[in-house]
Amino acid sequence: MLTRAIKKPVRLCSRSVTKFRGYHDDATFGYRVPSKYELPDYTQEELDNRNVNAPLLRYVESVRRHGHRAAQIDPLDLMDRDPVGALNPHRYGLKELESYPLQGILHLPPTTKPTTPPATAAPPRTETGEGSDTSMTLDQIREHLIGVYVDKIGFEYMHCPEKNERLWFSHHVETEASSFPQPIDVGRKKRIWGLLARSEEFDKFLGKKFPSLKRYGCEGAESMLPALDALFEVSARSGVSSIVLSLPHRGRLSLLCDPELLAFPPQALFAKIKGRPEFDPSTAPGATGDVISHLSATRELDYGGSQVKVKMLQNPSHLEAVNPVALGVTRAKQMSLLKSSPAECQLGDKAMCVQLHGDAAFAGQGVVAESLGLSGLPHYGSGGTIHIIVNIGYTTPASLARSSVYSSDVAKMIGCPILHVNGDHPEAVTRAVDIAFRYRQMFRKDVVIDLICYRRWGHNELDEPAYTQPLMYEKIRGRKSVPSLYENRLKEEEALSMEQASADRKAYVSQLEEQFTQSDSYKPKSEMLEGKWEGFAWPAGSEARHLPNTGVAKEQLIEVAKASVEVPEAFNVHSRLKRHISARLKSLEGKVDFATAEAMAFGTLMKEGYDIRISGQDVGRGTFSQRHAMFVDQKTEDCLVPLNDAFGEQAGKLELANSSLSEMAVLGFEVGMSWANPKLLPIWEAQFGDFMNGAQSMIDTFIVGAQAKWLKQSGIVMQLPHGYDGAGPEHSSCKIERFLQLSNDTDTASTHGDINLTVVNPSTPAQLFHLLRRQMTRNYRRPLIIASPKGLLRSPLAASPLDEMSTGTRFQPVLVGPTSSSANRVILCSGKHYYTLLEHLSKTDKMDSATLIRLEELSPFPYDELKYSLSTILGDGSKKEVIWAQEEPENQGAWTYVRPRLESVLGRVGFEGKVRYAGRRSGATTAVAVGEWHKNEVLEIISAACD
């Protein structure tokens, strides 16, 4: 396109072709966007030639845009393809015998191929016949274009909104033609063959030893292994030191157990298949394990002295749910760079996310679009992800499974380039990988490789796919396997002998046989407290500290609270926020609200070296305009987070990640952050607690069960605004009953360590303060679900004195009071409802008639604390009524969870009566949406408890 060599492109700090307005800036911790590379524009000579030869330009651009539609990318040749008229040069008035100048229109391979440049630099644009005389006949032009765009790789990049990316792609693929970028040597070919052959023998071995096993093998898609091997190698040689890998079940076992890749011991896999655990039960009490298609491994790979650590994440069967988790893990691995490196340091320099997908799931699962939407956001980007769609086809025909031509089309929502490649041609696959990686390194953006292959069997090896796809499977069963095809090719090239191929296959099978024999005596290890987790405890172990003191000296609390609202004199604070600042400072003389207590928890943790990250929509100011941890200059829109400037370089940082309007992906991202960094307090805050149901599968598969399934601890905090105030369905309840149902807390005994969830409904700022600090000061990590307040945020009734947060204090699972010796009833409740009952008793002069007890922590259930309180109140032998009061409907809220546990405690203190329920009737919705009905319900539930 340009007739001169292109020097290294200029790096600019512009994130996209469109400049979006926003109040964030580089001064805000965690704010990072990819730098933009500016390639030189056309010269005047090139522009003139483009105008004079506009028909040729139209033809070349059409081939670039539509060539993939005719490319040889389907190994089964079953795609419905209409003739692509756009590829016919005669449609543009071009003539066969004429010679056309190419300046500014088409790239050619250089006469002398240059040395392969570093992946981070722009490729040189030296062209054949450099200068104004470069020209070709139409036949030569067509031959060149067809060789590039209508071969085994189909390129889609013309939809990319950035001109620089289109320029880079057209130059790269046209000057490199069909090379890799250098001819593949015999050593590389043998390595590719070895990966393919071992995968084939491995799947055959499993089929022979375990004929009833659903292994979701790699047969038909074996090229994914050399694809990953090539990606790992080029990453290592380019300085990437850490790869976070996520993938579903297809081909997972072949990748895991290949000795050149992740080298998971086959004997460990065989022992698991035979029914034994994959971990040591004695070191992980309470663990349950997971199925073989969810196993994982981590390995340091060496490629000629260049190392890269590949970490395969555990995943659930909820396809694609692991995607945002992988992004979060990758981002967390780069947190230290964000804190300490110069501004020139790019996300993705050292850590890279690689995601494998199934074609149907990539097109069908909404979390894919949510995760792609995070890729370029300044608080969620990780330097570009390489996606490989293992396109094996699905039981449902593509015409019924998606509305787009390709399963990869969803990636076009972020202008992502896509390379479709024929999985029957491993060398073309490795070339596609090389191009994708170079693009990622250049632009730090996502790129997709659509690896089109097939599956030799059905959905699993026990299915009969010919029931619904007879013609496809007639063709599959009549063709040789991918490893056999490539092996025959190497034999024809005399790169591999029949004897060597046979001997290598037999040697590998012999190794598997030996591993199979050893599996009967295999003793697994539990590898869950290594690396950054060294020094932490297993939650159910004897070393776990469950109840640390979390109080802080009053002087420090005041210091932090003042620092949280300290802004420079020249900073133009919004006039209303000046009142917010004054109110916070004044409150330090008496009682503080929830936002102040939260700020004090953050600041004191930061002083101790912990990082804090709050993620969600509008988290900087808070959904209810209560937090204001971030100030925006009203004249310049510069951003200030006061706590980040208050405690010196050794202190932790507060990242306020205002997110996209996503629940599932954003929550999964924070789970990934929590997995990778135990010294980070990651908080996901819903605008309203009800909206967490958009992330329910993330909660079920990653938050609730990760500790038991995968030995993965997580300090994730979910803050879910909860409380009935007449806002109707979807703005009242965080569905606390769901979390309690998901808790594995027993209903008979007091326990802490083996509990999978902490579920709380705190009613005072001091309680929130201690909960947040306890999350980090424990020597283990467990997810914390907070039914956080709405109406109480500024309530003077709920405010807390600093004494309740000072040295020697900690979270109280049970709060008792007010009490009365003449009370004839004990009312137990949780959260905001306490204040509703308290107000009614006070107004009706009935304070002496009842004793109020608040359950602040529901899971683990506070058996010992509640037993102590109730034995004091009920131990006098008097016949008092015990009531559970809640504002949620009877089939929701904590009632069904609390009832058996409360009755168990009452039995231990000798109470013989029954617990009476006082709350709303069962409902199909969370709350009514008619104001008068809401008011009547409030009166009814108060009367049921107090009158």
pLDDT band for position 152 (cuts 50, 70, 90): very high
Residue ranges matching CATH 3.40.50.970 in the chain = 186-279+290-519
For 189-247, the DSSP string reads HHHHHHHHHHHHHHHHHHHHH-TT------TT-TTHHHHHHHHHHHHHHTT--EEEEE-
Beta strands in 320-422 (DSSP E): 351-358, 385-391, 418-422
Residue 394 CB burial class (10 angstroms; 0-12, 13-18, ≥19):
buried
Residue ranges matching CATH 3.40.50.12470 in the chain = 554-805
- CA distances to 602, 790, 944 from 722, in Å: 22, 6, 22
Task: For residue 303, give the nearest of 392, 187, 224, 214 by alpha carbon.
Answer: 187
Long-range contacts, 19-27 (Cβ 8 Å, 24+):
23/632, 23/637, 23/638, 23/639, 24/378, 24/639, 24/658, 25/637, 25/638, 25/639, 26/343, 27/638, 27/639, 27/640
3-state SS, residue 361:
helix
pLDDT band for position 400 (cuts 50, 70, 90): confident
Cα 739 to Cα 719: distance, rounded to the nearest angstrom: 13
Cβ atoms within 10 Å, residue 523: 8
The residue type found at 35 is: S
Q: Residue 16 has what pLDDT?
A: 40
Q: Residue 342 has what pLDDT?
A: 62
Q: Residue 876 has what pLDDT?
A: 67
Cα 240 to Cα 335: distance, rounded to the nearest angstrom: 15
Q: Residue 490 has what pLDDT?
A: 96
pLDDT band for position 98 (cuts 50, 70, 90): confident
Q: What is the mean pLDDT of residues 206-212?
A: 94
Tell me the per-residue pLDDT of 422-449, one tens digit each, with 9 for 90 and over. Answer: 999 999 999 999 999 999 999 999 999 9
Tell me the per-residue pLDDT of 290-314, one tens digit each, with 9 for 90 and over. Answer: 999 999 999 999 999 999 999 999 9
Q: Which residues partner with 826 through β-bridges?
A: 851, 882
- ∠ CA 657-689-855, nearest 5°, is 115
The residue type found at 919 is: G
pLDDT band for position 26 (cuts 50, 70, 90): low
Cβ atoms within 10 Å, residue 562: 16
Cα 945 to Cα 947: distance, rounded to the nearest angstrom: 6
% of the chain surpassing 70 pLDDT? 92
Could you confirm whether domain 814-946 is CATH 2.40.50.100? no
Question: What are the helix (H) ranges across 549-705?
Answer: 554-563, 575-587, 594-607, 664-676, 696-698
Computed from CA positions of residues 742, 747, 748, 750, in that sequence, does the dihedral angle turn out positive or negative? positive
- Give the lowest-confidence range in 20-29, 534-543, 752-761: 20-29
What are the tokens at 829?
Answer: 């409740």
Tell me the per-residue pLDDT of 342-361, one tens digit each, with 9 for 90 and over. Answer: 666 788 999 999 999 999 99
Q: Residue 877 has what pLDDT?
A: 67
Tell me the per-residue pLDDT of 920-946, one tens digit each, with 9 for 90 and over. Answer: 999 999 999 999 999 999 999 999 999
What are the tokens at 762?
Answer: 């705190």
Cα 768 to Cα 761: distance, rounded to the nearest angstrom: 9
Q: What is the mean pLDDT of residues 657-682?
A: 96
Q: What is the mean pLDDT of residues 319-338?
A: 91
Cβ atoms within 10 Å, residue 510: 10
Tell me the per-residue pLDDT of 865-876, one tens digit each, with 9 for 90 and over. Answer: 999 999 989 876
Residue corresponding to tokens 């809401």: 934
For 16-32, the DSSP string reads SSS----S--TTSTT--
This model's pTM is above 0.85: yes
3-state SS, residue 860:
coil
HEC sequence for 640-670: ECHHHHCCCCCCCCEEEEECCCCCHHHHHHH
- ∠ CA 884-885-887, nearest 5°, is 145
3-state SS, residue 614:
strand
Q: Which residues partner with 829 through β-bridges?
A: 854
Cβ atoms within 10 Å, residue 404: 12
Question: What are the helix (H) ranges across 70-185?
Answer: 138-149, 163-176
The residue type found at 127 is: E
Say which CATH topology domain 554-805 has. Rossmann fold (3.40.50)
Q: How many residues would you count in the chain?
A: 947
Mean pLDDT highest for which of 97-101, 400-404, 921-925?
A: 921-925
Cβ atoms within 10 Å, residue 570: 6
Q: Residue 125 has what pLDDT?
A: 40
- The answer to whether 745 touches 861, Cβ cutoff 8 Å, is yes
- Give the lowest-confidence range in 27-41, 475-489, 527-541: 27-41
Pairing of β 814-816 and β 850-855: antiparallel
Q: Is the peptide bond before 860 cis (omega within 30 degrees of 0)?
A: yes
Task: For residue 824, give the nearest of 805, 850, 799, 844 by alpha carbon.
Answer: 850
Superfamily of domain 186-279+290-519: Thiamin diphosphate (ThDP)-binding fold, Pyr/PP domains (3.40.50.970)
Residue 118 has pLDDT above 60, yes or no: no
Q: Residue 50 has what pLDDT?
A: 96
Residue 420 has pLDDT above 50, yes or no: yes
pLDDT band for position 456 (cuts 50, 70, 90): confident
First to last CA, the chain: 85
Tell me the per-residue pLDDT of 876-896, one tens digit each, with 9 for 90 and over. Answer: 667 899 999 999 999 999 999
pLDDT band for position 133 (cuts 50, 70, 90): low
Cα 310 to Cα 299: distance, rounded to the nearest angstrom: 5
Residue 153 has pLDDT above 90, yes or no: yes
Residue 315 has pLDDT above 60, yes or no: yes
Tell me the per-residue pLDDT of 35-65, one tens digit each, with 9 for 90 and over. Answer: 777 888 899 999 999 999 999 999 999 999 9
Q: Residue 594 has what pLDDT?
A: 97
The CA dihedral of 438, 441, 445, 447, to the nearest 10 degrees, is 30
